[in-house]
Amino acid sequence: MTVEEMKAAASEQIDKRGEELVGLVKEILHNPESGFREFETSKRVQKQMDQFNIPYEAPIALTGIKGMVKGGSPGPTIALFGELDGGIIPSHLHANPQTGAAHGCGHNAQIGMALGATIGLRDSGVLDLLSGNVAPCILPAEELIEVEHRLGLKEQGKIEFFSGKQEFIRLGALDDVDMVVMAHVRGSAEGSFLIGGSTNCHVAKYVEFFGRQAHAAGNPHEGINALSAASVAQHAMHALRETFEDGKTMRVHWVLTRAGDELNAIPAQVNMEVRVRANVPELVAELDNKVNRCLRAGALAVGGQVRIRTVPGYLPMINNPDLQELFRSNAARFEDPSSMVIYPPDYVRGGSEDLGDVSYIKPCIHPYTAGAVGWNHSDNYDIVDYDKAVVRMAKIFSMTIIDLLSDNAAGAKRVMSSYTPKMSKEQYLAFQRARAMDGFFDYAAEK
Ligand SMILES: [Zn+2]
């Protein structure tokens, strides 16, 4: 078979299974679970992989799955990533009414892409002609949210890092993977495909302000108001924003996850989750120090206390130029190239991806496809074109893998020989561990 014949055969096979793949994706849409809680989603995906006869290891990092299908001869291993988790968007059309979880970022579609590309290559017989392996990995917890829940998992020794890909790296699940491809379905996309660019680096923070309870009307002078501490801290963080340098995509944003208990009682504990982002890790560290100052200022102002825990977040995405070009050329079979948006490597999206972490140690790509309406992470996000979001992406990824692993894996070897990792796995783990912080600041004795 020529490369063209292989691509046609894999695509034909994906079309045959298209309905089944889209059915799976829709079923997951209607049963959303948030990160490190995706036990039912994981079971459902494992059942599908059993039906497709894809061998896998599970669970990895609580709910993750690592499949592996071998090619006709040995060679590099290309991982296809999909994510299990939804976000927490209670007002989303397809939210779980009990938990508020919802697939507001289209991770369910990624699972269809990864499994579709795998069976397209294998069941067409194409994989037998390739030199290397395909590893469909379906990972937990891409959204770094519900920090309090994950701190609990960490205390129980169930996780160390707070995202699925970080945990896959730590657990060695990617040690035998040579490169990774994955995509998101972008709501209201400004083109048919968005390719290249980078993402923001970040840390997450879990902050607890402590005061002293007293009757809010009877003896307010005896209380120390933790909500007031949080309020001052929020104003201080707002004030930081005018110092943000243009072009560095600096962001500080937060939610209160506990803002007081009973109206008659002065709030004695207020909890906050904060995210600090910028285009490079050095700037995140600098901004994070300033945010810590703001948080301490809140506690100082009321004579309270604050515990600040900083959780290592994600690194900026590095899209591998060789992999990106293969993806682009295959995507161009489906859309007029003028409709595709190619971002320069230094274009930074405000959001963040834990594939960024993987891209520091292995060649990766993370393009976006159209196929959804609304904004990612908002209640109006909805996949409306399942061919674009699932079936076509499975085809493009299968074609990209054919380009990589045909001709004795010449394409993949080219990618690997021109790639210089930013860090070794050991350097990565040391770097991330050094970003963690746990500090307690007590101003209760301040007069
Ligand atoms: Zn996402």
Domain boundary (293, 313, 333) is at 313
* 127 and 42, same domain (yes or no): yes
pLDDT tops 90 at residue 310: yes
Of all helices (H) and strands (E), which one includes residue 208? Answer: strand 201-210
Quote the ligand 1 centre to 105 CA distance (angstroms).
5
Whether 296 is in a domain gets the answer yes
Distance from residue 131's CA to the centre of ligand 1 (Å): 31
* CA 202 – ligand 1 centroid, Å: 15
Looking at the structure, tell me whether residues 350 and 422 fall in a common domain: yes
Same domain, 112 and 138: yes
Of 254, 280, 313, which residue sits at a domain end?
A: 313
**Which tens digits make up the pLDDT trace of 201-241?**
999 999 999 999 999 999 999 999 999 999 999 999 999 99
Residue 140 confidence (pLDDT) above 90 = yes
Compute the distance from residue 236 Cα to the ligand 1 centre, in Å: 30
Cβ atoms of 240 and 253 closer than 8 Å? no
How many whole angstroms from 149 Cα to the centroid of ligand 1?
19
Q: Yes or no: say if 182 and 142 are a contact pair by the CB < 8 Å rule.
A: no
CA of 93 to the centre of ligand 1 (A): 17
Residue 423 lies in a domain: yes
- Residue 359 sits in a domain whose CATH number is 3.40.630.10
In a domain, 354, yes or no: yes
| Closest residue by Cα to residue 85 from 50, 56, 45 | 45
Quote the ligand 1 centre to 225 CA distance (angstroms).
Answer: 37
52-61 own/partner pairs: CB under 8 Å, 24+ apart: 52/115, 52/118, 52/119, 54/115, 54/118, 54/119, 54/122, 54/136, 56/136, 57/173, 60/167, 60/168, 60/171, 60/173, 61/36, 61/139, 61/140, 61/141, 61/159, 61/164, 61/167, 61/168, 61/171, 61/173
Residues 305 and 387 in one domain: no
Report the separation in Å between the CA atom of 315 and the middle of ligand 1, taken as the mean of its atom positions: 15
| Cα 352 to middle of ligand 1, angstroms | 9
At residue 26, the pLDDT reads: 98
- 171 and 193 in a single domain? The answer is yes
C-alpha 417 – ligand 1 centre gap (Å): 30
Radius of gyration, alpha carbons of the chain: 23
Decide if 434 is inside a domain.
no
- CA 354 to ligand 1 center in whole angstroms: 9
Q: Is residue 364 part of a domain?
A: yes
Cα–Cα nearest to 163, from 439, 155, 154 = 154
Q: What is the pLDDT of residue 189?
A: 86
Q: List Cα–Cα distances, 400 to 6, 247, 265, 326, 342, in angstroms.
A: 11, 33, 61, 6, 17
Residues of the chain with pLDDT > 90, as a percent, come to 99
Per-residue pLDDT band for 446 (boundaries 50, 70, 90) equals: confident
Q: Does 366 lie in the same domain as 289?
A: no
Measured CA to CA, the distance from residue 81 to residue 59 in angstroms comes to: 15
The token duo for 304 is: 């309270």
Task: Give the residue-averaged pLDDT of 295-321.
Answer: 98
CA distance 354 to 83: 11
Report the separation in Å between the CA atom of 184 and the middle of ligand 1, taken as the mean of its atom positions. Answer: 7
Domain hosting residue 226, numbered range: 202-313
Which residues partner with 206 through β-bridges?
273, 309
Q: Give the pLDDT mean for 155-167.
A: 98
Count of structural domains within the chain: 2
Same domain, 301 and 343: no
Q: Are strands 341-348 and 193-198 parallel, antiparallel or unpaired?
A: parallel
What pLDDT is attached to residue 447? 78
Of the chain, the end-to-end C-alpha distance in Å amounts to 82
Q: How far is the CA of 23 from the centre of ligand 1 (A)?
A: 20
Residue ending a domain, among 313, 331, 347, is 313
Instruction: Give 381-428 pLDDT, tens digit per residue.
Output: 999 999 999 999 999 999 999 999 999 999 999 999 999 999 999 999
Question: Do both 158 and 286 map to the same domain?
Answer: no
From ligand 1's centre to the CA of 312, what distance in Å?
Answer: 18
CB 293 within 8 A of CB 306: no
Q: Are residues 139 and 225 in the same domain?
A: no
106 C-alpha to ligand 1 centroid (Å): 7
Candidates 3, 117, 51, 80; CA nearest to 355 is 80
- The mean predicted confidence, pLDDT, of the chain is 97
In this prediction, residue 249 carries a pLDDT of: 97
Does residue 404 lie in a domain region?
A: yes
- The confidence score (pLDDT) of residue 248 equals 97
Are residues 23 and 61 part of one domain?
Answer: yes
- What does DSSP assign to residue 287? H
Confidence of residue 246 (pLDDT cuts 50, 70, 90): very high
Q: What is the CATH number of the domain that holds 298?
A: 3.30.70.360
Whether 116 and 17 have beta carbons less than 8 Å apart is answered as yes
Is 402 a domain residue?
yes
Query: What is the 107 CA–ligand 1 centroid distance (Å)?
Result: 6
Is 63 part of a structural domain of the chain? yes
Same domain, 38 and 92: yes
Task: Please give the average per-residue pLDDT across 72-81, as a whole number.
Answer: 98
**DSSP symbols for 108-148:** HHHHHHHHHHHHHHHHTT-GGGSEEEEEEEEES--S---HH
Neighbouring residues of 380: CB distance < 8 A, sequence distance ≥ 6: 187, 373, 374
Residues 146 and 16 in one domain: yes
Q: Which structure tokens are listed for 197?
A: 């660019």
